[in-house]
Amino acid sequence: MIARMDVGLGLWTMRSTAAYPASVPALYRRLREDAVLAEQLGFHSIWSAEHHFWYDGWCPTPIAAAAHAAAATTTLHVGTGIHLLPLYEPDAVADDLAWLQRLSGGRVEYGVGLGYRAGEYDGFGRSRKVRGRRMDAALDRLLELGDACPRVWVGGMAETALRRAASRGVGVMLPSTLKPEQLAVAVEQVHAAAEEAGTRPRIGVMKYAWATDGSERQRDRAAERLSSFTREYSGSWFPLKGQPGFEVPELLDAQMRRSAETALLGAPDELAERLRGYAELGVELCMLHLVGDARLPDHRATMELIGQQVLPALSEVAA
């Protein structure tokens, strides 16, 4: 029997982009409406992400988004995927999380990451160089909360990230762009680090995803949307071999191909098959990152397709 795997949805970022302009208050209204829909459809969780000082208004505080979504729902878990923990004072984050756990009745999934944009660290007057040390100290402070601490997920797949999670026995959230064989290797690495530390960390994975009718046409359209979404921020923010993405178009193109190749784009039965594979590997939570620039009707249609046709297939296997 395959172990049960929770399936969550991401990433609500509340962005008003050049491609998909929208009213920002309306985007936050969509967040709470989508949270209600996700709960009705039986998803485990919805997740919000964090970036700062960017034209599209990318949500800078996913903890506040989680509080908002939690208040609109009763059983759905609310996650940060991810929160840039080293930017903040650990005591303040501990207060926030303990309160959010109480407000939500213990439904918080707390994903953390180092981030990569220097401008975000510089805005807050933090040195990007010491972010790893700050992350370690902050995680240790949060774990002192004991029962008030939500489930923690450390994002990333670098050895230091895996050891950071394994040594503390908290979850690992693996990134979207791993191929199946790379995912298997990463899971093995987590297990090895855990064995060394004598812990049993949970394993989660993010995956770009979109449910289609199975046609090539819809798959290509989904891939195009994914590219539109990731090209913008990868080109603007990712250093590719030390240079801004837009200045090295061939590397950026390769990054886009990698995103599309590793995404779950297909009919519900194809998605269910891939997800069963993750569960067999020991993944306990898969956060399906629905492409962020999707228009509302499409976005909800894919939520419904996955909720109505993929989740039941997974629960049958687990049962």
- Residue numbers of the site for another protein (CB under 8 A)? 14, 16, 24-25, 27-29, 32, 52-61, 63-65, 67-72, 88-89, 92, 95-96, 98-100, 102-105, 118-119, 121-129
Nearest approach, Cβ of 89 to another protein (angstroms)? Answer: 7
Nearest approach, Cβ of 70 to another protein (angstroms)? Answer: 7
Q: Which is nearer to another protein, 127 or 315 (CB)?
A: 127
Nearest approach, Cβ of 66 to another protein (angstroms)? Answer: 8
Nearest approach, Cβ of 91 to another protein (angstroms)? Answer: 10
Q: Say how far apart CA 27 and CA 59 lie, in whole Å.
A: 10
Rounded (5°) CA angle 154-85-143: 65
- Cβ distance 101 to 108 under 8 Å? yes
Q: Say how far apart CA 41 and CA 27 lie, in whole Å.
A: 20
Q: Which is nearer to another protein, 57 or 277 (CB)?
A: 57
Nearest approach, Cβ of 7 to another protein (angstroms)? Answer: 23
Q: Say how far apart CA 292 and CA 233 lie, in whole Å.
A: 11
Q: Say how far apart CA 190 and CA 203 lie, in whole Å.
A: 8
Nearest approach, Cβ of 180 to another protein (angstroms)? Answer: 36
- C-alpha dist (Å) from residue 95 to 114, 148, 208, 257: 20, 10, 32, 41
Q: Which is nearer to another protein, 12 or 208 (CB)?
A: 12
As given in the structure block, the two tokens for residue 304 are: 């419904």
Q: Which is nearer to another protein, 94 or 281 (CB)?
A: 94
Strand partners, 9: 46, 288
Sequence-distant (≥ 6) Cβ neighbours of residue 160 within 8 angstroms:
132
Q: Which is nearer to another protein, 106 or 180 (CB)?
A: 106
Q: Which is nearer to another protein, 98 or 305 (CB)?
A: 98
DSSP state of 177: T
